[in-house]
């Protein structure tokens, strides 16, 4: 498949939607991820970008068509995604372009926490698999399940704080979540 090689960065895959990264590329990247890692289950989350639902649908379809199951953790922040990968011990794909402008989308990928895919360790391999249509034979069709680890994530983060010390010295805290994904989870605390 012809794909813009420039979307395969040092620490993620990212490009402008739909010119550099579209549904066809996302589908192939999902298949390549399963082919490269030889896995049977992949955790997938996404951020709030308007192209997120389309990219999520395409990449998860590629994962499932390649024979792996998808564990959908929904719309989450990147730190929630990393927490979920560590908690479940699953490889993962986060549909996000992180701090980039809204026209972008892409993927942050985990082999197994704390090992992320990078340009030297996996991302260029995915590019080669996609460009050469070098996908492994599919072992069947995967399915999708949903998992909400929000409460566990909140408990883990709050477990890092000395609540008694804060009660002894109360303070006001202002949280500017901007356009980031931390807003929804912040409202639950």
Residue 129 vs residue 164, higher pLDDT: 129
**Within 13 A of 83's CA, how many CA atoms are on the CB side?**
17
Total tally of structural domains belonging to the chain: 2
Do 142 and 86 lie in a common domain?
Answer: yes
Do 159 and 119 lie in a common domain?
Answer: no
Do 108 and 158 lie in a common domain?
Answer: no
Q: Which tens digit of pLDDT belongs to each residue from 63-112?
A: 999 999 999 999 999 999 999 999 999 999 999 998 899 999 999 999 99
Distance CA 47, CA 99 (A): 11
Distance CA 54, CA 76 (A): 16
Domain containing 103: what range? 5-148
Q: Which tens digit of pLDDT belongs to each residue from 9-34?
A: 999 999 999 999 999 999 999 999 99
Distance CA 75, CA 181 (A): 8
Q: What percent of the chain has pLDDT over 90?
A: 80
Is the confidence at residue 185, as pLDDT, over 80?
Answer: no
Distance CA 64, CA 79 (A): 25
Looking up residue 40, the CATH number of its domain turns out to be: 3.40.120.10
What mean pLDDT comes out for the span 137-150? 96
Do 106 and 24 lie in a common domain?
Answer: yes
Do 138 and 171 lie in a common domain?
Answer: no
Q: Which tens digit of pLDDT belongs to each residue from 53-66?
A: 999 999 999 999 99
Do 165 and 177 lie in a common domain?
Answer: yes
Cis peptide before 13 (omega within 30 of 0): no
Closest C-alpha to 73, from 150, 134, 129: 150
Active-site annotation, residues: 98
């Amino acid at each position: 498949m012809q794909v813009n090689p420039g979307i395969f960065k040092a620490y993620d895959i990212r490009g402008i939607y739909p010119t550099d990264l579209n549904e066809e590329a996302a589908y192939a990247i999902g298949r390549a991820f399963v082919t490269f890692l030889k896995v049977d289950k992949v955790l997938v989350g996404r951020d709030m970008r308007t192209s997120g639902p389309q990219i999520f649908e395409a990449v998860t379809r590629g994962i499932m068509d390649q024979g792996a199951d998808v564990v959908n953790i929904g719309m989450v922040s990147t730190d929630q995604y990393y927490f979920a990968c560590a908690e479940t011990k699953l490889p993962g794909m986060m549909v996000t372009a992180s701090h980039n402008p809204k026209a972008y989308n892409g993927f942050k990928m985990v082999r197994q926490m704390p090992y992320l895919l990078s340009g030297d360790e996996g991302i260029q391999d995915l590019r080669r698999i996609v460009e050469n249509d070098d996908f492994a034979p599919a072992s069947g069709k995967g399915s999708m399940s949903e998992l909400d680890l929000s409460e566990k994530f909140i408990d883990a983060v709050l477990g890092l704080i000395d609540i008694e010390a804060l009660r002894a010295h109360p303070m006001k805290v202002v949280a500017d979540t901007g356009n980031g994904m931390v807003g929804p989870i912040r409202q639950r605390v």
